[in-house]
Structure 1
Amino acid sequence: MKTAPTTYPVSPLIRQRWSPRSFTGQAIAPDTLNQVFEAASWAFSAMNEQPWRYIYAHQADTEAFERLLSCLLPGNQPWARHAAVLAISLVKTHYDNGQPNRTAMHDVGAANATLALEATALGLGTHVMGGFDMARTREVFGLPHTLDVVAFLALGYPGEAEQLEEPFRSRELAPRRRKALDEFVFPQQLPVTV
C-alpha cells in the first residue's frame, strides 16, 4: 500500500487512496460494487441534480468489458485489461429545463472522489483515466448529446507491481508526491497569483 506522506494528519482513508495500475483480476462481488456506486450517489451536487451517470462492465463479461477497453488509448490498455471492472463516468450537462449546469463536471468529479474513497475503504484500488478516445466512446455507446464523457475508471483489488511491464512498473513503485500547500492555497489577496 502506498500511503501518502502528508504534512498534516489527514484521514487515513485519504492517505491510503491511490491510483494503482496493477490488479489481481479477482472479481468484485456485485454488492461490493453497488456499495461503491452508492457512495458516489452521496457526493454533493448543485441543486441536488446528481448529474453523474456510470456505464460499467465486469472483466468476466468479456464482450462488454472489451467494448470499454477498446475506447481507452493504447497507453492505458495493457494494464487496464487486468482490472476487475471498467467504468465510464458521464455527465448530464443540462438541467431538465434545458439550462446548462455550470457545475456539473465539478459534481461528477466529487462523485468519482467519493466512489474512490469508498473503494479504498473496501480494499479496492481505483484508477481514473483521461486517456480515452472521446469520439469512439460516444459512437460505441451511442451517447446522446445530453451526456459527455468525463473519465474512465479501472477498479479492482491491487496486485503486485512486478507483474507490470515497463514503464508501468516504475510508475507503480515511484514515491507519491503532491505540491506543497503554499503552491495552491492562498490567504485572501487580490489578485491571486498562479
Structure 2
Amino acid sequence: MQHRLKHNRPSLRRNARPPKQRSPLGAAFTAANLGCALALQHCRSCARVQYPPRELCQHCLADGLVWREADTAGHIINALDLHHSLWEYFKRRITEAPWPVATVRLDCGATVFAHLALASFGAASAAAVPAGAAVQVFTHTDCSLNSVLIAVSAGTAIATPAQRRELAAALGLLEPAHKPEGI
C-alpha cells in the first residue's frame, strides 16, 4: 500500500520529477525536437511560426502545420524569479533558490516561455537580466523525457548536443546518473 501511495503522491517520492503528462501536441513537440536545437510548427499556407503547438494555424486556420527547425535567436521580453510552484519537482528546488524563467520573443516570430540559464548572463537573479537582452533558445529533454525550452545569452555555444546537455544539467533539469546497487 505504501509503495502505491508514493507513486500517487509526488510529495512522498524521494526523487520528484517534472510533470510528465503532456497532450498529444506536447508529445509531438518533444518528438520533433529530439534531433535539433529548436523545431517549431510552420504553416504551409501562410508560413507563420506556431507556438505553442496547435492543430490549426492561429493566423489563417489552415490545418497544414509541419515541424521544421527554427532560428534560436531572440530577445527577452521579461525575466522573473519563480518563488512558488504547485509541482513538487519545482517546490523542492525553489526552497534552495528561486527558479529563473523568461518570456522570449524569437526572431522567427514566436513568443515562448523558457527556463533561464542565469550563469550564461553572469547574473545572480532574473531581475538582473535586462529586457531586450539577446538570447538563444533551445530545447532539451528533462528527466521526465519531455522537451523543455531553455534560454541562454546570445554568445553561449549551443551548436552540439553535448553543449546543450551541459547547460540543461547546470540548470538541474537532468537527473544524475544512478548506478544500480551492487555494481
User: Do the structures match in fold with TM over 0.5?
Assistant: no
TM category (shorter chain) comes to: under 0.3
Q: Give the TM-score normalised by the residue count of structure 2.
A: 0.25
- More strand as a share of residues: 2
Q: Give the TM-score normalised by the residue count of structure 1.
A: 0.24
Question: Could you say which structure has the greater relative contact order, defined with CA pairs below 8 angstroms and 6 or more residues apart?
Answer: 1
